[in-house]
Amino acid sequence: MLPINCLETTSAKMREQPNIAVIGGGVVGITVAKLFQDRLKNAKVTVLAENYTEDTTSHIAAGIFRPGTSFKGPTKEITKKWLNESWQFWQDILKTPDAEQIGVMTLGAYIFSKENYHVTRNHLIEDLVPIYRPVTDEELKLGPKGTKFGSYFSTLKVECERYLPWMGNIIVERGGELINRKVENFASLSNYDLVFNCAGLGAKYLCNDYDMVPIRGQVIKVKAPWVKSAFYGDIDTYIIPGLNGVVTLGGCRGYDSYNLNYCKYDAASILERCCEFLPNLKNAEVIAHKVGLRPHRMPVRVEPELVDGVKVVHCYGHGGYGVMTAPGTAIDAVEMGLNFLRSNIKNKL
Ligand SMILES: Cc1cc2nc3c(=O)[nH]c(=O)nc-3n(C[C@H](O)[C@H](O)[C@H](O)COP(=O)(O)OP(=O)(O)OC[C@H]3O[C@@H](n4cnc5c(N)ncnc54)[C@H](O)[C@@H]3O)c2cc1C
Please tell me the residue having the least CA distance from ligand 1 atom 38.
202
Neighbouring C-beta atoms of residue 196, cutoff 10 Å: 29
Residues lining ligand 1, Cβ inside 6 A: 23-29, 48-51, 56-58, 60-64, 182-183, 198-202, 206, 217, 219, 250-251, 292, 294-295, 316, 318-324
Fold of 4-342: Rossmann fold (3.40.50)
Ligand-binding site membership of 57 (annotated): yes
pLDDT in tens, 162-183: 999 999 999 999 999 999 999 9
CA of 260 to the centre of ligand 1 (A): 13
- 108 vs 91: CA distance, rounded Å: 15
Residue 6: per-residue pLDDT: 44
Ligand-binding site membership of 9 (annotated): no
Q: What is the mean pLDDT of residues 140-155?
A: 97
Residue 164: per-residue pLDDT: 98
The pLDDT confidence band at residue 16, using thresholds 50, 70 and 90, is confident
* Amino acid of residue 157: K
Assess contact for 312 and 305: CB atoms under 8 A. yes
CA of 292 to the centre of ligand 1 (A): 8
Atom of ligand 1 nearest to the CA of 323: 11
Q: Kindly state the percentage of the chain with pLDDT values over 70.
A: 94
Neighbouring C-beta atoms of residue 58, cutoff 10 Å: 30
CA distances (Å), origin 240, targets 107, 160, 227, 341: 9, 14, 8, 41
Q: Is the pLDDT of residue 304 over 90?
A: yes
The pLDDT confidence band at residue 345, using thresholds 50, 70 and 90, is low
Residue 344: per-residue pLDDT: 76
Assess contact for 279 and 196: CB atoms under 8 A. no
Q: Is the pLDDT of residue 10 over 90?
A: no
Pocket test for ligand 1, best of 239, 294, 313, 324 (most atoms within 8 A of CB): 294
Q: Classify residue 10 by burial, with Cβ atoms within 10 Å: 0-12, 13-18, 19+.
A: exposed
Assess contact for 82 and 65: CB atoms under 8 A. no
pLDDT in tens, 231-276: 999 999 999 999 999 999 999 999 999 999 999 999 999 999 999 9
Cα three-residue angle 23-39-203, rounded to 5 degrees: 20
CA of 96 to the centre of ligand 1 (A): 26
Assess contact for 213 and 202: CB atoms under 8 A. no
pLDDT in tens, 63-74: 999 999 999 999
Assess contact for 314 and 302: CB atoms under 8 A. yes
Atom of ligand 1 nearest to the CA of 30: 25
Which has more pLDDT, 138 or 14?
Answer: 138
Phi, psi of 131 (to 5 degrees): -130, 130
Residue 4: per-residue pLDDT: 39
CA of 146 to the centre of ligand 1 (A): 36
Pocket test for ligand 1, best of 323, 324, 329 (most atoms within 8 A of CB): 323
Pocket test for ligand 1, best of 50, 64, 124, 206 (most atoms within 8 A of CB): 50
Contacts 24+ apart (CB under 8 A), 86-91: 86/324, 86/325, 86/326, 86/327, 86/328, 86/329, 87/128, 87/129, 89/327, 89/328, 89/331, 90/65, 90/156, 90/158, 90/324, 90/327, 91/156
- 108 vs 29: CA distance, rounded Å: 28
Side-chain-side CA neighbours of residue 341 (13 Å): 26
Ligand-binding site membership of 183 (annotated): yes
Sign of the four-CA dihedral 124, 83, 208, 51: positive
CA of 297 to the centre of ligand 1 (A): 13
pLDDT in tens, 41-59: 999 999 999 999 999 999 9
**Lowest-confidence range among 12-21, 94-103, 117-126, 210-219?**
12-21
CA of 7 to the centre of ligand 1 (A): 33
Q: Is the pLDDT of residue 7 over 70?
A: no
Residues 6+ apart with CB under 8 A from 127: none
Atom of ligand 1 nearest to the CA of 56: 29
Ligand-binding site membership of 322 (annotated): no
Residue 11: per-residue pLDDT: 54
Q: Is the pLDDT of residue 100 over 70?
A: yes
Q: Is the pLDDT of residue 199 over 90?
A: yes
Do you know the residue count of the chain? Answer: 349
- 190 vs 194: CA distance, rounded Å: 9
Q: Is the pLDDT of residue 1 over 50?
A: no
- 47 vs 183: CA distance, rounded Å: 11
